[in-house]
Amino acid sequence: MKFETKLIHGGQSEDQATGAVSISVYRSSTFHQYELGGNPKWEYSRTGNPTRAALEALIADLEGGVAGFAFASGSAAIHATFSMYSAHDHFIVGSDVYGGTFRLINKVLKRFGLEFTVVDIQDLAAVENAIQDNTVAIYFETPTNPLLQIADIAAITKIAKKHKLKTIVDNTFATPYNQRPLELGADIVVHSATKYLGGHSDVVAGLAVTSDEKIAEKLAFLQNSIGSTLGPDDSWLIQRGIKTLGARMRVHHANTEAIIKFLENDDRVARILYPGLPDFPGHEVAKKQMDHFGAMISFELQEGLDTKKFVESLKVISLAESLGGIESLIEVPSVMTHGSIPREIRLENGIKDELIRLSVGIEDEEDLINDLKQALDKIG
């Protein structure tokens, strides 16, 4: 089955009880057990729910894993994944990660004794040099939020395997439409399904997928034990969103190409970060491991231009956190999505105060470009 067909018919796409082509929402907390001490398929919705299970089967299918797990948010999926490990286990983490992941690591996981070394994930020698006797896994995003840095997944998983480490990839920005890390050797993929997978900015959800049966057992245990599971209504929304992922991504990509051309030709734009640009540092690796370069763009305006006024002057594009929805969203990471990272660390990692991140939606491309133009005209 081709990927675009899998989006619609993959996993478990029909309701098994009725044949309904849209999976039913099983809004039941518990299930009648007809035999005491039997082994029922469904017992309690935290442990397993048919609507959530359909989504979990679908994401496992799309990422090429053996099992998928749905959580109440991307952060919950990441938390459950790190919960497989114990105090004094050491992780190598990419320096550019979503601010909330940085916060989870530094303010929560470290308190439970997990240890972390932050490295530039583009630098393979730095990754290998950071390995210690107690290192258990390498965790990174690619493309990263918000600098869109590209990590070489195949090369990193090769290093990981050599040292018997696991590789965990946050595939939120790429989505399985553009990139499938498990096929490149990763052990676990995590997602903020809040973004492209849901696709309509109307649900917060997270997913984890693994290619390893033993990890799948651990994640199933932790999902049930921690209990941060995704409810049936939200599971249904994510499955519905995924059905149109291919159609949406084609428009996201076309609009992004047009906006990149516009930004490249405007003197008021100083720097554009986008993996599809031939002179972008990660371009060659992105070309190798991604089917398309995605629809996230970061950029900086020329020094002295008023970033605040620019983002506040947009009329079609909304100033808002989040990304991957049908509507275009713009934000300033230093103040918004990455505000929880101390300024000196942020600057050290390359996130300037004035960096702007744009999530290109599927509106008419001319409307988006005209909106950017009128806002630029207000400041310079």
Ligand X SMILES: Cc1ncc(COP(=O)(O)O)c(C=O)c1O
Ligand Y SMILES: N[C@@H](CCSC[C@H](N)C(=O)O)C(=O)O
Positions that interact with ligand Y (CB under 6 A): 98, 100, 145, 192, 321-323, 337, 340
**C-alpha 241: how far from its chain's center?**
15
CA distance 74 to 65: 18
Measured from each CB, the residue nearest to ligand Y is 337
Q: How far is the CB of 98 from ligand Y (least distance, A)?
A: 5
Query: Is position 180 annotated as part of the catalytic site?
Result: no
Angle, CA of 342, 346 and 349, to the nearest 5°: 145
Question: Least distance in Å: CB of 195 to ligand X?
Answer: 7
For this structure, is 46 an active site residue? yes
C-alpha to C-alpha distance for 192 and 370, rounded to whole angstroms: 30
Cross-strand pairs, 319: 330
- Give which of 90, 289, 300 is closest to 173, Cα–Cα: 289
One of 6, 46, 158, 268 is an active-site residue; which one?
A: 46
Catalytic residue flag (residue 44)? no
65/74 with CB nearer ligand X: 74
Question: Which is nearest to 193 in space by CA: 63, 44, 25, 291?
Answer: 63
- Give pairs for 26-33: CB < 8 Å, separation 24+: 26/50, 26/51, 26/232, 27/232, 27/233
Q: What is the spatial distance between Cα 9 and Cα 125, in angstroms, rounded to a whole number? A: 42
Taking CB under 6 A as the rule, does residue 194 contact ligand X? yes
Report the nearest approach of ligand Y to the CB of residue 355 (Å).
12
Question: Are 136 and 167 spatial neighbours (Cβ–Cβ below 8 Å)?
Answer: no
Q: Which stretch binds ligand X (CB under 6 A): 73-81, 270-278, 291-299, 344-352?
A: 73-81
- The answer to whether the bond into 143 is cis (omega within 30° of 0) is yes
Q: Per the structure block, which two tokens stand in for 376? A: 């630029």
Out of 61, 63, 96, 170, the residue judged to bind ligand X by CB under 6 A = 170
CB of 14 to ligand X, least distance (A): 27
10 forms part of the interface with ligand X (CB under 6 A): no
250 is catalytic: no
* CB-nearer residue toward ligand X: 60 or 78: 78
Edge-to-edge strand ranges of the sheet holding 356-359: 269-273, 296-301, 356-359, 329-331, 318-319
Q: Binder to ligand X among 145, 167, 229, 307 (CB under 6 A)?
A: 145
Count of C-beta atoms within a 10 Å radius of residue 134: 10
Partner whose binding site includes residue 198, from ligand Y, ligand X, none (CB under 5 to 8 Å by kind)? none
* Nearer to ligand Y among residue 135 and residue 337 (C-beta): 337
Residue choice 61, 141, 187, 234 for contact with ligand X (CB under 6 A): 141
- Residues taking part in catalysis: 46, 98, 170, 195
Q: Which residues bind ligand X (CB under 6 A)?
A: 73-75, 98, 100-101, 141, 145, 170, 172, 192, 194, 204, 206
